[in-house]
Homo-oligomer: A and B are copies of this chain.
Amino acid sequence: MARLAKLPFADLGFARVDHHRSLRAGFPEVVFCQGKRPEHVVAIFSELLSHGSAALGTRASQEHADAVQRALPQIHYHVSSRLLMSPRPAIVAPRPGPVLVVCAGTSDLPVADEAALTAEFLGCHVERLCDVGVAGIHRLLAAEAQLRAARIIVAVAGMEGALPSAVAGLSGRPVIAVPTSVGYGASFSGLAALLGMLSSCASGVTVVNIDNGFGAGYAAALTLRSATTAPLEQTRSPES
């Protein structure tokens, strides 16, 4: 009851923490750490955990992680993906999925990690496939069965970003494309891959921001949940 009384959010001065979203959507609050002072990140995580919410921090630096873990040792930090994760509640079966996270090259791994860990954190069954860029198309063809068995696919690629087009054609599955900043020169820090994915000749491809593995993993998980669970009961909106 105390928690409901504080709805719709707690005003920390520098942040308005939304406990309501977790109730409403069943998903944790997400904290974009980049550009925030470490003490602010600590305070937001503390507020969320004190109300029993799960919390996910994205783009957290080592400095953010150190500050958070000093105050909240139960938070886990994953270095490659830069994710801060609160302990996850036990999963109630069955997990939706599989979400298949595919990446074009080994250099794309940190972004693919971010996507896969996010979808897992949100309760999905996740599979991985690595180093299947279109320049060696037989490596992708060898995984055709796995591609076609996925419910939804996250395709991560830098450079020319051609992987999602090939994956969408081969799998017949919806593909969330993640351009990465892998490359140099005319790849313009991921712009080439981004424009290529947006211009994809394949149907069923949607795109997120450059290096936004989190966004792809979140959208994949939300999509599966939204499509397959019973309609949300109409909660009282904060405006009423």
Q: Is the pair A138, B204 in contact by a Cβ cutoff of 8 Å?
A: no
Known: A107-B32, A204-B222. A159 touches B15 (CB 8 A): no
Q: Is the pair A185, B200 in contact by a Cβ cutoff of 8 Å?
A: no
Closest chain B residue, CB of each to CB of A144: B237
Interface of A is mostly: mixed
Distance, CA A149 to CA B209, complexed state (A): 27
Q: Is the pair B199, A159 in contact by a Cβ cutoff of 8 Å?
A: yes
Q: Is the pair A198, B186 in contact by a Cβ cutoff of 8 Å?
A: yes
Closest 7 CB pairs of A and B: A185-B210, A162-B162, A35-B107, A135-B202, A192-B195, A206-B206, A160-B196
Tell me, yes or no, whether A137 is within 8 Å of chain B by CB.
yes
Interface size class of A (residues with CB under 8 A): 35 or more
Q: Is the pair B169, A187 in contact by a Cβ cutoff of 8 Å?
A: no
Cβ-neighbour of A238 out of B34, B133, B141, B206 (below 8 A)? B141
Cβ-neighbour of A199 out of B8, B14, B186 (below 8 A)? B186
Task: Annotate A171-200 by CB proximity to B: 1 below 8 A, 0 otherwise.
Answer: 011101001011111111111111111111
